[in-house]
Structure 1
Amino acid sequence: MSTSDTGVQAVSACEDVSVLDEAVDKSKFKSCSQLSFYRRQKRLLPGKSLYRALLDSFTLHNGIAKLQIIHEETKVPLLIEIYGIEGNILRLRINELSPLKPRYEVPDVLVTEPALHRLTVIQEEADVVVLGYDEGDHKVHITASPFQIDVLFKEDVVLRINSLGLLYFEHLQPPPKKSRDQSEEKSDVPAISSEDGEEDLGLWKEKFGSFVDYKASGPSSVGLDFSLHGYEHVYGLPERTEPLQLQSTSDSNAYRLYNLDVFGYELQSKMGLYGSVPLLLAHKPEQTIGIFWLNASETLVELSTKPVFIETTTDMTKKRVVPETDIRWISESGIMDAFLLMGPSPFDVFRQYTQLTGSQSLPPLFSLGYHQCRWNYEDEEDVKAVDDGFDEHDIPYDVIWLDIEHTEGKRYFTWDKEKFPSPKKMQESLQSKKRKLVIISDPHIKIDPEYPLYSQAKEGGYFVKDRQSKDFVGVCWPGSSCYLDFTSPEVRKWYSAQFTFSSYRGSTDILFVWNDMNEPSVFKGPELTMPKDNVHCGGWEHRDLHNLYGFYQQMASAEGLIQRSGGIERPFVLTRSFFAGSQRYGAVWTGDNNSEWGYLKISIPMLLTISIAGISFCGADVGGFIGNPDPELLVRWYQAGAYQPFFRGHATMDSKRREPWLFGADNTQIIREVIRERYALLPYWYLLFYRAHVSAEPVMRPLWVDFPQQLETFGIEDQYMVGNALLVHPVTDPEVISVDVLLPRSDEIWYNFRTFERFVGLSTLKVPVTLDSIPVFQRGGTVIPLKTIVGKSTEWMKGISYELRVALDSKRSATGELYTDDGHSFQYLHEDHFLYRRFTFHKNILSSSCADEKGRYSTECVIERILILGLRKQPASVTTIEPGRRHQKVTFAYNPRTSVLTVEKLSLGLGADWKMHVA
């Protein structure tokens, strides 16, 4: 939900909270030109750097190279630190040598202090130092004057740092002196008016509308440029509504990383949205690299791609054109802390990033099913009616959600006594059907001395403070509210304890959590968020850590659910605001989208961008949160959502009811089959999340990730891979009768996932579509595990047998995997309580073997059915071979039209080694 939701009338009558239209009101948000730190940095134009390295200060100790650089005009020194980190990572830190007081350095995002890799000095001269890294493959050239760092891979320049001379560092200063008659509202520095009317009241205050931002430490921004040699395809920087491939920016139109509550956000915009991950990936056929800019303050990123002419012959007569992309990072405060992820493959970069920030948590299995949400299901009877409706219409689902109206006057961790008088009984009813409940818990706390959560937090000093050290008071759904300071470990510990059954009366172990409005959203705040001069634990200003706020709430919520279970059960927490590392704590979604075709279309590049930034568990509200989708749009959104990681239908309270059975029998049938297809594929989804957890492989990913050398894939954003085996092309336009689908690589075989029709790759197919289908293809050479029968929810399907769908490649081979465990606990970590199997089809033998010997999970599930796609002739016999048992011939069916062999009524042990011979 957002500040503009039409349920605002439910807010306390004493508060005047305005309602916005469905379109975002851009006047409430700053443009880049309205940011004074950005304007100041933009005055520094590309050219010769004013910084010079003092090479006589260079030291190399314990894998860390240090040296000082000095500004030729101000003569103020900075300290440079270069780290070699295991796994082909370089780290560059730039800070003041002697700051007036400590500058903010982002805590808690890195999972551990990175292990260092040895750096060596290869060359040291008067104007250059050359460092070796990673067994000679990488070198780091440090040039003294002007200061510049070049990173080379096998003697070729990969990237240059400060080659444009845009290194910018605002040093902390003592506040300006005031005469006796000067009030706090005045400044010694004259005001500067910008073209758009915003006032920059000197360097110590900044005005936006009626809001004044007081800067206790004065200006403190940092900036640095990186030139990526040979790269023109650049990705990353979620969350945004632009194409998958980052676009060149114009003046005052940079990518803005600043978490904001933007209701009905604008399409094709670089403005800040709910979450941000300062990770950029650059890709070319030979190499993928990444830049991770670890800074949680407001950050702007500019980029431009240009041709560079390189001499190619010794007589200097020929030139070749090589692209180069220039990246400029600008942050309002903190230090420069950049990690260079040197690949060389896309999957290497993913591993390097998650080595730093952690991998996607393995979610409980139920959370990969379908979720049904609305602001708000009215009462317990409404919940029961919706729950029963899924059974009556034979549609599986796992979770029903409750928004803020389920609470007592927007007081979180409470229940409305009239509408939800028996919350435990309601949950017991859901539990009897093996389903779950998710409730909302936002960061704002209603000011009410009779409300225990408020009174405890007030007494403990747990709220964010304003600049005058008083509890900050903002307006959100309950009316006047205070905001918990989740940056404090003590506050997080206290908040986590609120999820215990003794504290959260009426909750049970099937109740899970949704963190909304945690950018944080403040209805009457600057840009509808918290003032930057608010103060957090440790005395840090909100400006220093703004983008971390939601990250910390999700951390506390996840820890609360884990503690509630005694450390046994995996949590499920959805958050709207996120940062680097949020993948460790649960899922995210794309916020308050509209029920329009453009929002369905943009959801694909939005989710792909979030996925390649480490957060695999992501989704968009099916049907669009705001408005009323027509039946065709709703059906198409269900079809897309079923093939995206987080699958939830959601709607605002003033929209028409849109449970899946309310749009006519034909549409109900289509939606039913879409959801059932999702459930049949749950073994594959679960495998992909395990791979994301242990190997950092994005669950949903752009085509170029799996086909890194095929240029045709680099700009595609309307189709994507789900794991390495499925290619999906949702239909995102109305009244479509066909779509163009690129099947990559000429040596690849692809199979229509439903009809089994066979296609050869490196071609663009015009695929006919009807309302009941979207193009989904299985890649030849893969094996996909499925369930043979779909149940009412994931837990109903626990004992159901498996199917293997084997798709042969041009060499008549295939490989795939299956992962399973109990689906809900942490035993897979502590007791190796899992099974990880590998399936291989080679020379007409399908074999099952152990992919991890530590797996000891006991299950009675069997593989009952096997389909082999692309078998070009009918076999004479099919025989199963199991240890300790006789060879057994089995019955089979072969379809010569589709070249599909079907073997059924098998009983092959899931955890057993076996072979099936096709003669």
Structure 2
Amino acid sequence: MKPLGLLLVGLLVINQSIGVDKKKFKTCSQSGFCKRLRDFKPERSQYVADFTSAKINENYVLVDVNTVDLKSEQKAVLDKYVLKISSLADSTFRVEMQEVEPLYGRYTPMLTLDGAPKPDTLTEVSKSSDKLVLENSKGHRVEVYADPLKIEFLDLEGETAVVMNENSQLLVEVPRERKEHEVFTETFNSYHDSRPRGNEAVSLDIGFPEAYQVYGIPEHTDKLNLATTTSGDPYRLFNMDVFEYELDSRMGLYGAVPVMYAHSPKRTVGVFWHNAAETWVDVVNSADTNVVSSIVNLVTGGSGRRVDARFLSEANAIDVFVLMGDTPGDAFRQYTTLTGVAPLPPKFSLGYHQCRWNYVDENDVRGVDENFDVHDIPVDVIWLDIEYTQGKKYFTWDYSKFPRPLEMVGNLTAKGRKMVIIVDTHIKREKGYFVHEELTEKGFYITDKDGKDYEGWCWPGPSSYIDFHKPEATKYYTELYRFDRFPGTTKDVHFWNDMNEPSVFNSAEVTMPRDCRHFKESAPEGATGLDSYWENRHVHNEYGNFHLRGTYQGMLDRTDGKYRTFLLTRAVFSGTQRFAAVWTGDNMAEWSHLAASVPMCLSLGVAGISFCGADIGGFFKYPDAELMTRWYQAGAYQPFYRAHSHIETKRREPWLYDEASMKLQREALRRRYTLIDFWYTLFYEHTRDGLPVMRPLFQEFPKEEAVFTIDDQYLLGNKLLVRPVTASKARSVPVYLPGKDTGTVWYDVDTYQRHLANGYIDQPVNIAKIPVYQRGGTIIARKERVRRASSLMADDPYTLIVALDSDNTAVGTIYIDDGETFEFEKSNAYIYGKFEFNGNELSYSFIDPASTYPSRSWLERVVVVGLRAPPRAARLQQAARSDPLHMTLHEGNGVLVVRKPGATMTEPWKIQFSY
């Protein structure tokens, strides 16, 4: 790097170190299209449908829509559009609207959908000049009104659940030919955006009658339930590198997932705004205007509740999926049916990850690894940040610090551990660097507004960025992960894609200029003008997904598709879950950031991205022993469990704290490992049902209004309730136990104390206590023999925790396979089992009887919690076995322990109780 480059990067880092600089990032009033569209509030919409043109196919209808001049008596037609409404499987609709003869094509995201949506039937119920009524196979109706255009989606009770353009804020800006001397340029902080196509933004208002709250549109740092935005900016969806982000903010962050859910005791519905351009979202909740709510309630006899949203995007088409619910789980599943689920992760990735920017050399890595063993602390992965490379050049090693990478990796894998290393999206522009020279020669870089290879600044200094829209460029990048192209890696080296918003230090809003050019595969033959490429403004939020797809495919290809992969990303968009896990970015060692990790991951979870976590201890600053301990305790119950810290922070591995704190942190880690198969089962079930692993309370208790705004506690599956301690020196925490209307029972996992759900309780805590409760009626499998890595626990025995409901019953599941290959898909090499307790019998059977796996795990212990009367005897029945079992009753808390049944997990069995 040139001295000037070093100076510039140094100044950037110093400048950023003082915290988020809001002046670097636009507000709505500084964003030309946001200000323009937000001010667009006509009394009447100028969009009119012509139902004489309606053409109904098997699953969609096409309708001509015109904009008319409302000032003329004849309502002269200004622009012509085609409206397409499609009926899709799983109670989903799609609404698309584009110009009939566009000057330039409009971009549709290419990687968000997990294949083409499956169609459902759409039939015409009635049609007049004023109204068109359609119906899908489930009985959901769509009512389209002509003048002005309005679209209502009715639930199965015939009530309007979603309505579009009721507030007349539909707007499609039609690009025009630039007139001589006309200027389209927009400037922000001295950065000029050429905007060659002029205005091309879109806007649509979407109402949710009867809704109490709306959720989704991550990534932001405020509450799970979205706030009314009439005061201040809308929520922003624009992927950016926001250094030292602040909390309780609607600013954009690293991710932008444009899916929103509206919930009430009556129903849950959702909308997915299928657009990769910068987007702002306004929200108005009628609960914030009590007078209006009261009037609506009086007139309609309804709840008087309603939420209105408005989506405003800089470019692309009107393209909206409507998810008709009607439960939270239904709506969440409908979204993942469209965008995909997280693939079953390799089992090690659910263990603990130890990271730092940076472990400086092989000796450092060896010392960290050995200290986990010395202090009897489990860990599955050691990570390397950017300093492992030769001068910030990815797919290289700094051999002065890491002279024997294969040996280093082998030392870890010999203990059952793995390694993750970082590969960012920027490529160093340095003569002799093989990746840069090959990308330049092949013409695979994104270009600037003049068609030259774009050059920005990131960690290496001068950098360029791969144009993944070129299929050949993606293929080239994918092949870089081959073992012969990246020596020093093995199947046990996995990857981390950071800075992939993309981050550009010397550009507007620390990201790529909007007028940079991407390859347009669908460009008209021979096109050379504006219609021959996409601008970054069109594809921006999806860029990270293209990067991830290349990495993910490269990791699969290097082993010919035999082994599963682990990949972590910072940039997030719809569909990201199909490729990578996500972390919440550069947080701080502060109690408020620990607390914020819960709603941030819950918000991502309902948006399809379950594999979420936050840097344990905070990336910036240094956590004291109490905060670090509480963060380890909280992180043990979040899907992705990694400690990470900034290069300038004090080292903070568990053994560097005092002895008492280290023991508490070790205990938190051991709790994670006892539940490793529980986590693995949750992720497997996510692949089948598409539901979040980490769930908001309203998902499981959708009619209990008190839980609609609770986001400081959550559920893992439907079985564990977790309430992290997020305040210093806490002696008690309020915990809401949901299900009071259904007689739900909760058991403290430490004491087995029984609580009948009745709202809030005051739970005493000390520094060793984190409130976690198992739901009555569930069975959880644990592995009590914690070893140094999860792979070494594969054949260890199970302990079943059977927590009984008020009917003296419980159910649970278990998933078992080899933890790393795709044999579970290719040859049904897995076990998916079900546990059932009915008071007289505990049984184990197979949900998928055709599958099989030679597990050597066995049943070591059964703990039954909440028995009303203890049995006199118990007997195991498995195949030809019929053995009496030894039991112990703990009368103080009514817990029955059945010791060493010895049943194998490869065949069904029963434990029969006699009274």
Q: Compute the TM-score of the two structures, normalised by the length of structure 1.
A: 0.95
Match of 2:355 among 364, 368, 373: 373
Aligned-pair CA distance for 1:11: 7.0
* CA–CA distance in structure 2, aligned partners of residues 57 and 342 of structure 1: 27
Paired position in structure 1 for 2:468: 486
Distance 1:46 1:774 in 2: 53
1:526 equivalenced with 2:508 (yes/no):
yes
Q: Is the 8 A contact 2:297 2:303 kept in 1?
A: no
Aligned to 2:180: 177
Matched, 1:361 2:369: no
Maintained 8 Å contact 2:111/2:542: no
Cα displacement (A) at 1:240: 0.2
User: In structure 1, how many angstroms separate the alpha carbons of the residues matched to 2:766 and 2:378?
Assistant: 23
Q: Match for residue 666 of structure 1?
A: 660
1:28 aligned residue (24, 27, 32): 24
**For 1:284-683, what aligned pairs fall within 5 Å after superposition?**
284-306=264-286, 307-308=292-293, 319-538=301-520, 539-683=533-677
Tell me the amino acid that sits aligned with residue 899 of structure 1: G
Whether 1:803 aligns to 2:785 is no
Deviations 1:817-838 (A, max 9, x none): 0001110011111111110000
Q: Distance in 1 between matches of 2:800 and 2:765?
A: 26
How far apart in 2 are the matches of 1:270 and 1:46?
26
Deviation at 1:8, TM superposition (A): 14
Find out whether 1:75 has 2:78 as its counterpart: yes
Q: Deviations over 1:431-479 (max 9, x none)?
A: 1111111000001111112000111111111111001110000000010
Letter in 2 for 1:479: G
Match of 1:861 in 2: 857
2:220 is aligned with 1:240: yes
Query: Which amino acid in the other structure matches residue 680 of structure 2?
Result: Y
Contact 1:803 1:863 in 2 (8 A): yes
Distance in 2, Cα, partners of 1:860 & 1:717: 40
Query: Could you tell me which amino acid in structure 2 is paired with residue 552 of structure 1?
Result: F
**1:207-246 mapped onto 2 (5 Å cutoff):** 207-246=187-226
CA shift for structure 1 position 286: 2.1
Q: Is the 8 A contact 2:423 2:495 kept in 1?
A: yes
Q: Distance in 2 between matches of 1:266 and 1:486?
A: 32
Gaps of at least 5 residues in structure 1 are 1-6, 179-187, 189-201
Alignment partners' CA distance in 2, 1:22 and 1:713: 37
State the secondary structure of the residue aligned to 1:297. Answer: coil
1:622, CA displacement in angstroms? 0.4
**Would you say the 8 A contact 1:767–1:775 is kept in 2?**
yes
Counterparts of 1:161 and 1:308, CA distance in 2: 20
Cα distance between partner residues in 1 of 2:810 and 2:512: 54
Q: Structure 2 CA distance, aligned partners of 1:782 and 1:846? A: 12
Alpha carbons 1:874, 1:896 under 8 Å: kept: no
User: What are the equivalent positions in structure 2 for 1:82-93 lying under 5 Å apart?
Assistant: 82-93=85-96
SS in 1 for 2:214: strand
Distance 1:431 1:530 in 2: 39
Equivalent in the alignment of 1:277:
257
Q: 1:151 aligns with which of 150, 153, 159?
A: 153
- Equivalent pair of 1:642/1:674 in contact (CA under 8 Å): yes
Sort the Cα spacing of 1:661 and 1:22 in 2 relative to 1 into closer, same or farther, 3 A: farther
Distance in 2, Cα, partners of 1:621 & 1:246: 24
Q: Which amino acid aligns with 1:421?
A: P
- Write the letter of the residue equivalent to 2:647: M
Answer yes or no: is 1:756 the counterpart of 2:752: yes
2:835 and 2:843 in contact (8 A); partners too: yes
Count the aligned residue pairs.
885
1:734 aligns with 2:737: no
Q: How does 1:784-795 map to 2 (within 5 A)?
A: 784-795=780-791
Q: TM-score, normalised by structure 2?
A: 0.95
Unpaired runs of 5+ residues, structure 2, are: 70-76, 287-291, 521-532
Q: Residue 352 of structure 1: SS of its match in structure 2?
A: helix
1:874 to partner: Cα distance: 2.8
Provide the secondary structure at the position in 2 that maps to 1:322.
Answer: coil
Partner Cα separation in structure 1 for residue 443 and residue 302 of structure 2? 64
**Code of the aligned partner of 1:399:** V
For structure 1, which segment, 681-690 or 904-913, has the greater mean C-alpha deviation from structure 2 after superposition?
A: 904-913
Cα displacement (A) at 1:309: 6.1
Match runs of 1:175-214 below 5 Å? 175-178=178-181, 188=182, 202=183, 204-214=184-194
**Residue in 2 aligned with 1:849?**
845
The answer as to whether partners of 1:310 and 1:320 remain within 8 angstroms in 2 is no
> Which one of 887, 907, 911 corresponds to residue 906 of structure 2?
911
Shift of 1:159: 1.7
Which residue identity is paired with 2:432? E
Distance 2:303 2:848 in 1: 48
- Kindly state the Cα deviation for residue 72 of structure 1 after the two structures are TM-superposed: 1.3
Deviation above 3 Å: which 4+ runs of structure 1? 7-17, 307-313, 318-321
**Cα deviations by residue, 1:92-127 (Å, 9 ceiling, x for unpaired):** 001111101211111121112112111111111121
TM-superposed CA distance for 1:873, in Å, is 2.9
- What is the rounded CA distance, in whole Å, between the counterparts of 1:152 and 1:9 in structure 2? 64
1:647 to partner: Cα distance: 0.2
8 Å CA contact 1:258–1:299 kept in 2: the answer is yes
- CA drift of 1:62 comes to 2.6
In the TM superposition, what is the alpha-carbon distance from 1:22 to its structure 2 partner? 4.0
Per-residue CA distance 1:226-262 (angstroms, 9 max, x = gap): 1100002110010000111000002551000000101
Q: Provide the residue aligned with 2:821 in structure 1.
A: 825
The structure-2 alpha-carbon separation of the partners of 1:123 and 1:395, relative to structure 1 and needing over 3 Å to count, comes to same
Per the TM alignment, residue 882 of structure 1 is displaced from its structure 2 partner at its CA by 1.4
Out of 94, 103, 106, the position equivalent to 1:103 is 106
% identical aligned pairs: 41
Q: Could you say what secondary structure the match of 2:560 adopts?
A: coil
Q: Is 2:780 the partner of 1:780? A: no
